[in-house]
Structure 1
C-alpha cells in the first residue's frame, strides 16, 4: 500500500485537528474525531482490494444496525439528512401535507421536510428537558398531518405511547442516542420509521453517513425503490449511497457503543454532582438515567454569548445549542416559550468518551471562574 495515499486519507478526515494539533492539546473540545491504527489498517486493505465504494462492510453495518435497533429492514445513506428525506418520501409526503417537528432543532431536519414540499409545523419543547412537548404536539395534529419527527435531542429519551395513540406515522431521529433503549424497547423500533446520522461529531461519529430503518415491509419496499436503481425502472431514485470505507469506520465505532454510552453517563453524573450547587446554573437532568448524554446541556443565568466566550478564554469550547429556533429563522409566527428560553440560555459541555478526569475538573473550574 502506498504510504502517501494513507497520509492523504488521514489528512482528509482529520485535517483541522492536525493543523491545530498544538491548540487541540490545550483546548477542551466538544468532540474529538480520532482514527486508530486499526482504522488505518482497514483503509489500507480496502484500497488494496479496490473496495472503497462497495464491499463487505456495508452489509456488516446493516447487520449491526439491525441488532441495535431491532429493525428488520435497514438502508444506508450518505447522511442523516438523506435518511430523513427518504423516510418522508417513503410515506408519500408531498406539498399537500404537514410534518410536525420541534423548533428547537438543527436546520438539516427542516431541510428534509422542505425537500418534499410539505409544510413544517413547529412545536415547543418541555420546560424541564429538551424533548418535544407531547401535549403541544398532539394539539397540532390535523387531517393533513403526514408524520411527526421525534428527535431524542442531546440524548434525552421519553415514551412515545401517547403519540402513538393518534395513528400518525412517527419518525424517530436517533442521531443523538443511537443504540439506546427505553422500557426494554430499542429506540428506532418504537415508531414507524427510525433514522440516524453518523456525521462528524454525532453520537456515533463516522465522519459522514446515515441510515434509515423500519419493521414495516411496505415502507421498506418504497425505500428500496427510492434508493436502488434497477434496469427499465425510470421512477425517481436518489444516489444516497454510503461508501464501504465509511461503513468500515462506523462498524468499528459501533463495536464500542455500550462502553461509550456508559462513559458518557459517568461523565454526566460527575457534572450533576459538581455543578448543581453552582449559582446561576440550572441543570435539567435529575440523574444520569434521564439521558444518553450526547452533550451535557445546562442553562446559565448570564448572557449566553458572553459565557461561551469567557469559557473559551479558559480553554473550554462549549456547545452553543440552537441559537436561532427554526420558526424564527424562517419567519414563522409561533409562540414557543420554552424554546425561546433554551435558545437564550442553554449551553453544552462535552461528554465524549475520551474526556479525561483532568479535563472534567478543568471544565468545572472554568464554570466557577466565569460565573
Structure 2
C-alpha cells in the first residue's frame, strides 16, 4: 500500500550523489576505498570514540561486538525486552543466553533495578539499548556494570545524536554499535558501525569482520571470521549524511516539538525527553490509553493515507524466546499501546498538523 505520508524516508540532499559517483568513476565500489577510512574517522570524532569500524549492517555490528568481547555459550547477557529483535538475536548467535529486563514507564528504557535483580554468576555483560533515541540512565547502569565487573555493550542503532548529560551515547560502554538502515537518522542504505575506546577490542573487531585475515601474512586466516565489511559506496553515503547530521537532528527535534504542540491535551502519552538527556527522536511515538484503541487508530490513520508502525512487541513474548513464562508489565503496556508516527526530517508542519488532527478526531470523536 502506498501512503501519502510515509512513516519514514531518507533525506539525501547533500553530497550523496557526488560521493557515490566518485566511487563509480574510480571503480572503488567494494570494501576498499577512501570513503571507508574517512567515514570511520569522522564518525568516531563525532561520537567521541577513539576507534570506529564500519560493517554491513547494525545486526552484524552487535554480533561483532559480542564476538570481540568473547561472549559465548554458558554466558548470560542482560538485555531489555522492549527492543528490536536484532538486539536479542545477536546474543543468541553467539550461543549466549539473553536475560530480559523490564522498562521504565517514564523513559521506556531498561530499568536499572530490574538489571540488578537479574544478575547471576553467569552474567557476563549488559546490553544497553537506547530505544527510539532516548538515552538510558547511564549513571546507574555504568555503576552496576563496573561494580559487578560486567562488560557493557551499548546498542545505539536508534540513538545517533542522542546525549546523556552532554555525552554522546555509545561513549559509556566497553563497545557500542550503530545502524545506518534506510530509516535511521543517518543512513548508508544498509550499514553499521562498531565503536570503542579500547584498542584491543577495536583490533579484534576489525580482525573478525574481515574473515579473520592475519595482519602480516597475505591470505592467511588465523581465526574463524566473518564477512561483515561495509562497501565504499555505503561509506560514501554515510560520509555525506554525517556532514549534515546536526541539521538532520535539529529537524527531527523540531518535528517532535510539532507533535507535542499539536497533541497537547489529547488522550495520549507521548514519548518525551526527560531531564539531563538529549532525545534524538529517531521515531516520534505515543501510547494510547486503551490498548483496544491502538489498531483501530492505526487503521483510521492508514485510511487517511498516514503510515504508522506499532511500537516493538516485547521480545519475551516472541515464540522463540517465550519457552519460559515471564511478565514484564511496563514493557507489555508500552508494547500493546504504542504507535510510531511519521518522523522523517523533511516532513512538513502542515503534514504533522494533519496527522494530529486525524489522531484527535479519532480519539475524541
Do the two structures share a fold, i.e. TM-score over 0.5? yes
Give the one of 299, 303, 311 matched to 1:321.
311
For 2:64 and 2:20, the matched residues in 1 are separated by: 29
How far 1:204 moved relative to its partner?
1.6
Q: Deviations over 1:186-245 (max 9, x none)?
A: 221111111101012122222100010101122223223212312333311111010000
Q: Residue 252 in 1 paired to residue 240 in 2?
A: yes
For 1:68 and 1:44, the matched residues in 2 are separated by: 25
User: For the Cα contact (< 8 Å) 1:276–1:282, is it kept in 2?
Assistant: no
Give the one of 31, 52, 62 matched to 2:8.
31
How far 1:276 moved relative to its partner?
2.7
For 1:290 and 1:123, the matched residues in 2 are separated by: 23
Aligned length: 346
How far 1:36 moved relative to its partner?
4.3
Q: Which runs of 4+ in 1 moved over 4 A?
A: 286-290
State the match for 2:283 in structure 1: 295
State the match for 1:41 in structure 2: 18
Instruction: Please state whether the residue corresponding to 1:282 is helix, strand or coil.
Output: strand
Q: Residue 307 in 1 paired to residue 289 in 2?
A: no
Alignment of 1:214-229 (within 5 A): 214-228=196-210, 229=213
Q: Deviations over 1:141-179 (max 9, x none)?
A: 122111111111011113312222233111111111213
How far 1:75 moved relative to its partner?
0.7
How far 1:298 moved relative to its partner?
0.8
State the match for 2:95 in structure 1: 117
User: For the Cα contact (< 8 Å) 1:316–1:366, is it kept in 2?
Assistant: no
User: For the Cα contact (< 8 Å) 1:110–1:120, is it kept in 2?
Assistant: yes
User: For the Cα contact (< 8 Å) 1:91–1:146, is it kept in 2?
Assistant: no
TM-score, L = length of structure 1: 0.88
Q: Deviations over 1:40-70 (max 9, x none)?
A: 3333321121111121000110111111121
Give the one of 184, 189, 196 matched to 1:207.
189
> Taking CA–CA contacts closer than 8 Å with sequence separation of 6 or more, which of the two structures ends up with the larger relative contact order?
2
TM-score, L = length of structure 2: 0.90
For 2:14 and 2:258, the matched residues in 1 are separated by: 31
State the match for 1:285 in structure 2: 272
User: For the Cα contact (< 8 Å) 1:175–1:203, is it kept in 2?
Assistant: no
User: For the Cα contact (< 8 Å) 1:304–1:346, is it kept in 2?
Assistant: yes
Q: Deviations over 1:293-342 (max 9, x none)?
A: 111111113421111111111111112111x3211102142210001101
Structure 1's unaligned 5+ residue stretches are: 1-19
For 1:258 and 1:80, the matched residues in 2 are separated by: 21
